[in-house]
Structure 1
Amino acid sequence: MAKADIKPKSICHAKKWSDEVENLYRFQQAGYRDEVEYKQVKQVDTVECWPETGFVKKLQRRDNTFYYYDKQRECEDREVHKVKVYVY
């Protein structure tokens, strides 16, 4: 395990949609907790985002296939409560 292996201190579920929740939703769909874990696992420094919205554009899953995301919101209100928010 890398020394930069950061573990979250606590976790809660999102209550309402925000830009942060949108990006967490995208990381979790691709099989990661969040951007911190994605960067650790994939050994990358940056995540490709849409310049217009700042939302994640493309993620590589653990099986090396890719998820491509829209520049608009994808996490619907009924999905928001499923998004896990990690606190470090």
Structure 2
Amino acid sequence: MSSGLKAMAAQPIKMVRPKHWDETVEEAYRFQKAGWRDAIEYQTLSGNNASIDRWPHNGYIKKLCRKGDGFFYYYNKERECPDNDIHRTKLYEY
């Protein structure tokens, strides 16, 4: 592979939409809000910016590099996914 091509992220085999909020939904919501499918795609395609900053008290994502423009997306310490966005979030299985 040439140095100009980026590595391809693993492709999911299944996608489901959640019915109720939990920490898995919150994690997926934060990645998808920043334009990423999930942690696997983020770490594979973002290169040197692959570190995921997390809040120490609950482990929620604190900061992600936005897909496409390289700016950062910052998140609060508490839940960010509103109830009406739970069914819009996608959970992928590999």
TM-score in terms of structure 1 length: 0.91
Does residue 65 (structure 1) correspond to residue 71 (structure 2)? The answer is: yes
Name the structure 1 match of 2:30. Answer: 26
Distance in 1, matches of 2:70 and 2:7, equals 20
Distance in 1, matches of 2:57 and 2:24, equals 15
Distance in 2, matches of 1:67 and 1:46, equals 13
Q: Residues 49 and 17 of structure 1: is their aligned pair in 2 closer, same or farther, counting only changes over 3 Å?
A: same
Unaligned runs of 5+ residues in structure 1 are: none
Q: Residues 14 and 35 of structure 1: is their aligned pair in 2 closer, same or farther, counting only changes over 3 Å?
A: same
Question: The residue matched to 1:31 in structure 2 has which SS?
Answer: coil
RMSD (Å) for aligned C-alpha atoms: 1.4
Distance in 1, matches of 2:12 and 2:36, equals 13
Distance in 1, matches of 2:64 and 2:17, equals 22
The answer to whether the 8 A contact 2:13-2:93 is kept is yes
Aligned-pair identity in percent equals: 43
**The structure with more radius of gyration:** 2
Unaligned runs of 5+ residues in structure 2 are: 1-5
The answer to whether the 8 A contact 2:19-2:86 is kept is yes
Matched length: 87
Question: The residue matched to 2:16 in structure 1 has which SS?
Answer: strand
Runs of 4+ aligned structure 1 residues displaced above 4 Å come to none
